[in-house]
Amino acid sequence: MRRALDAVESWEQVDAVAAPLQRRVASIVRRTGAYPVLGGEWMGHPVHPIAVQVPLGLWISSAVLDLLPGQEDAARRLVGAGLLAVPAAAVAGAVDWSELDPRARRVGVVHAVANIVASTCYVRSYRSRRRGRRAAGRLWAVLGLAAVSVGGALGGHLAYAQGSGVFRWYGDRWPARQVASEKQLRSGPPPA
């Protein structure tokens, strides 16, 4: 698994689309002043990891209800509620992604694609359930849960292996977010 995640970091073919897109997103973030709020500067860590818990939790809960008889409507509602929570998580993720270095940017793109696939599967699940096609709705949800799990693994790699979104406290202020190198993470906080 680690080798596959590391391979995504080196996938330079993504750069042709990702680099110009990242510049555009960064320009929008700067122009709108979205970073302090959506980037989580106000709380000392990114908003995105918190925001993703809402759709993920709702979708996992729907999977549990799919295992219980008579809970079809509740499962459908949870799938729908998860879809309503996706835009906030996606926007916060885009704000974070706008500042990543090339290796992390590549992982971020694949992370986003996995989550777009997951969301699409959940849209299909919701529609199938609304039409009374419960088995199809469950199948789409299982596929969505698999895709969001891949996305989560990539997001974990970004945060834990690459140190993306790591804030450093400098005495009396948080500087603009920076990606800490492995050496910086091991060395601890800067001297006061």
Percentage, residues of the chain above pLDDT 70: 86
Q: Looking at 98-112, 121-135, 161-175, which range is the least confident one?
A: 161-175
Q: How far apart are CA 106 and CA 184, in angstroms?
A: 22
Q: How many CB atoms lie within 10 A of CB 43?
A: 12
Number of separate helices (H) and strands (E) present in the chain = 9, 0
Question: What tokens were used for 54?
Answer: 């809402």
CA 85 to chain centre: 12
What pLDDT is stored for residue 189 in this prediction? 53
- Split at pLDDT 50, 70, 90, the class of 167 is low
Going by pLDDT thresholds of 50, 70 and 90, the confidence category of residue 183 is: low
Q: Quick one: pLDDT at residue 192?
A: 46
pLDDT at 169 over 50: no
Answer whether 0.75 is exceeded by the pTM.
Answer: yes
Could you identify the residue written with the tokens 């925001």?
Answer: 51
The pLDDT, as a whole number, for residue 172 is 46
- Nearest-Å Rg of the Cα atoms of the chain is 18
Q: Are 115 and 147 in contact (CB under 8 A)?
A: yes
pLDDT at residue number 141: 98
Give pLDDT tens digits for 39-91.
888 887 889 999 999 999 999 999 999 999 999 999 999 999 999 999 999 99
DSSP structure class, residue 71: -
Tell which wins on pLDDT, 154 or 176: 154
Q: Which residues contact 136 (CB under 8 A, 6 or more apart)?
A: 124, 125, 128
Q: What is the mean pLDDT of residues 120-144?
A: 98
Write down the pLDDT at residue 173: 47
